[in-house]
Structure formats: structure tokens, C-alpha cells
Amino acid sequence: MKDKIEWSDKNWKKFIVEQRKRMWLPDTIEKLAKWLDLKQGMKVADIGCGLGYLGWTYWKYFGKNGSYIGVDISEKLIKEAKELSDDWAKNCKVEFKRGDSYNLNFEDNSFDLVMCQTLLLHLDKPEIAIEEMKRILKPAGTIFCMEPDNYSNNLLAGFSSMKELTLDEQLINHKIHYYKFKGKKKLNKGDHTIGNKLPMLFHQAGFTNIDIRKNDIVRFMTPPYEMDFQKRFVKDIKKIVNKENNDEEEFWRKSIRKDVLAGGGSKYLLRKYFSLVEKRNEANLQKTLNLIEQKQYFSCRSTNFYAAKATKNGNDFKCP
């Protein structure tokens, strides 16, 4: 039961540490908690829990007399999640267990809510995980999954003060991501476009009351650039300009190369793409910093990240 990505490795882990701090807006979480009808006392499981992000985010809505169990395939993350929970779940019923989403070690009909975030996109057989999540839900219990469509996210350039890509450059970009996502599927790394397929997958698994929302966060740059994510944007660009992240760049290049070739893309296309990225960085990044300095840089961008829920049909309950 070894995941192909070890999420405790530094290049991956930053997604479940740094990125989680800015993933959802507090008022959206509030809205989703209402939408899910979360109540104190609920029994909740979080599959592919990582460091327990969903636990510490939603705990206040169900934790009083309730319980949370986080399950993850990574032994290292489970250990760390346990340590972190000392801070957010004092004297509360919180547990972390190593486990596989394809074969959950829980009784049938055990939980009021079973949730996951950015798990299904990495699975070769997400439908089996959904089936398992359904099995451990009580009749009339709720499944809650948050997953992106990273293919469209990679193509949505949004608006920025920088020069737009030419059509030819956009086509190179488009082709790379097309082959990358095809390659990921071929290599059994999951379907990274799964977000907008959640309603279909829930329907096929026999869920009812299916509903879906989107993360409404929008990233924008306008002077005085004082919001946390705006400051981080500037910091990240400076890192690239100063070539402080060469190792990280190389790590992602290797990963893209592998996926694109597996998906049917050519080495020639990869060369064109990497040279385009380099040219773009050279032409734009220092200019972006200069414009920020002059308070003349603007951008605005959102992503396709879905939150879907559904109900386990009471009729599915099988008497033991």
C-alpha cells in the first residue's frame, strides 16, 4: 500500500503545509460548514488526511462530544499529524491511523461524515475509495470531497500586467499540459481533472442529494500589495530571479518530463516548452518586480477547485 508520492518529502510537503494556510477563505469555510449541516457531536473520518488540515479546519463545527479520525497511507505524516493535533484538539477525541483508502479498516455504517481533500485526484481507482467511504458512512450520512481540475487550472492564465502569450506560445503550453495529464493517467498517478467529475462519481456510487460548490478564493495584485498572499507572491518571484530555487525547479522539470513523455509528448515539445518558460521568466520577472516597486503591477486569477457533497441513501443499508 505504497503511495507513488511520499507526501512527507520536502517538495510535496509544502503543498500540505504552506499552501493549506491560504487554501480557503474563513467565510467560505463557515458557508461550507452550514451547507454540510455540521453539528456538534458528529463522528467524522478524514481519508488521506495528510497533517490533519480538515480536522483542524472543521473541528469547531462538530468536535464538542464528537470525534475525528484521520487516515493516511504515510506513516511519517500520521506521526506528525498526531503531534500537531496536540495544539488544536486538546482533551478531544481525535485519532490518526495509518490506512489505505481502498480498504478502510472501519466497520460498515460508522460515521456521520466522511471527507477527503486532494486525495481522489492522486488515486488510480478513485471509485473504489468512494465506495469505501460510502461503506463506512451511516445511512443518511454525508460524503464531502474537495478536488481540483488541475488541467483547466494550468490553462487559465487569468489577467496580468505582463505581455500576453502569443497563440503559438499558448499552444505549446496547452500541448504540454494535455500530455502531462494523459501521462499521469498512464502512469497510474490518478486523474488530475477529477474535481468536476465528482457529481458523476457520486451518482455512479449510488449517492443522492448530490451538490457541488467551488472555492471562491481569487488571487489579485493591486497596490499597496500588503496582503499576506501578495507579499508571498513578491517573495516567490525574488527567489526565482535570484535563482534560489534551482533544486526545486529541477525537481518539477523532471516530474513534468516524465509525465509528458508517458502521455505521448515529444522531447522536442519539452525543449520548446522549457525554453519558453525560461524566456518568459527572463523577460517578465524582473519587470514584474519593477512594476510592483512603482505600484503599477496588476493581476487577478482564480482556480477551479470543487467541494462536492452527497448523501448515503438510507435504502443502501444492508442488515448484517
Ligand X SMILES: C[S@@+](CC[C@H](N)C(=O)[O-])C[C@H]1O[C@@H](n2cnc3c(N)ncnc32)[C@H](O)[C@@H]1O
Please give the grid coordinates belonging to residue 75: 506513516
Instruction: Give the range of 73-81, 84-92, 170-178, 290-298 binding ligand X by CB under 6 A.
Output: 73-81
Binders of ligand X among residues 112 to 131 (CB under 6 A) are: 117-119, 122
Distance CA 234, CA 215 (A): 23
- Counting contacts by CB under 6 A, is residue 7 touching ligand X? yes
- Counting contacts by CB under 6 A, is residue 95 touching ligand X? no
Binders of ligand X among residues 40 to 59 (CB under 6 A) are: 48-50, 53
- Counting contacts by CB under 6 A, is residue 303 touching ligand X? no
- Counting contacts by CB under 6 A, is residue 150 touching ligand X? no
Place of cell 512603482: 294
DSSP β-ladder status, 67-72 and 208-214: unpaired
Q: Is the dihedral of CA 126, 53, 9, 227 positive or negative?
A: positive
Using the minimum distance from each CB to ligand X, give the nearer residue, 118 or 173: 118
Binders of ligand X among residues 167 to 206 (CB under 6 A) are: none
- Closest residue to ligand X: CB criterion: 50
Using the minimum distance from each CB to ligand X, give the nearer residue, 71 or 172: 71
The b/e string for 266-304 (b: 16+ C-beta within 10 A; e otherwise) is eeebbebbeebbeeeeeebbeebeebbeeeebebeeebb
DSSP β-ladder status, 159-160 and 137-148: unpaired
User: How many CB atoms sit inside 10 A of residue 64's CB?
Assistant: 12
# residues contacting ligand X (CB under 6 A): 20
CB of 20 to ligand X, least distance (A): 5
Using the minimum distance from each CB to ligand X, give the nearer residue, 126 or 141: 126
Using the minimum distance from each CB to ligand X, give the nearer residue, 13 or 177: 13
Q: Is the dihedral of CA 234, 148, 126, 33 positive or negative?
A: positive
- Counting contacts by CB under 6 A, is residue 305 touching ligand X? no
Phi, psi of 236 (to 5 degrees): -65, -40
CB of 269 to ligand X, least distance (A): 28
Q: Using CB under 6 A, list all residues that contact ligand X.
A: 3, 7, 15-16, 20, 48-50, 53, 72-74, 77, 100-102, 117-119, 122
